[in-house]
Amino acid sequence: MLHYETLEKYSGSLAELAVELGDLRYDALAAFLHALSQKLEMDAVADSNRGRVKLASVLLKSATDVKSAASEIERANENLRSVYDKF
């Protein structure tokens, strides 16, 4: 698999992409982070199957960390919803 430095379907910079992702609703951002976590897990399995044990380990840790970030964003979303539900 080839890994690229830019996104074919996105013309902005990675910094601009980060801002746009950060501006998503929290539920949408959490869904994106969960999808990214799953992709990293799949890459970890593929690299493990190729004998790239160290890379697979790092990717698996990254997937776990991204999944944790998604969970924290979900908590923020729940807290935000509870504030708006009071009105």
Residue 87 confidence (pLDDT): 62
Residue 58 confidence (pLDDT): 98
The residue assigned the tokens 């890379």 is 55
pTM confidence score:
0.88
Sketch the domain layout of the chain as residue ranges.
Answer: 25-85
What's the pLDDT tens digit per position in 12-67? Answer: 999 999 999 999 999 999 999 999 999 999 999 999 999 999 999 999 999 999 99
**Residue 30: DSSP 8-state:** H
What is the C-alpha R_g of the chain? 16
The residue assigned the tokens 């910079």 is 13
73, 26 Cβ separation under 8 angstroms:
yes
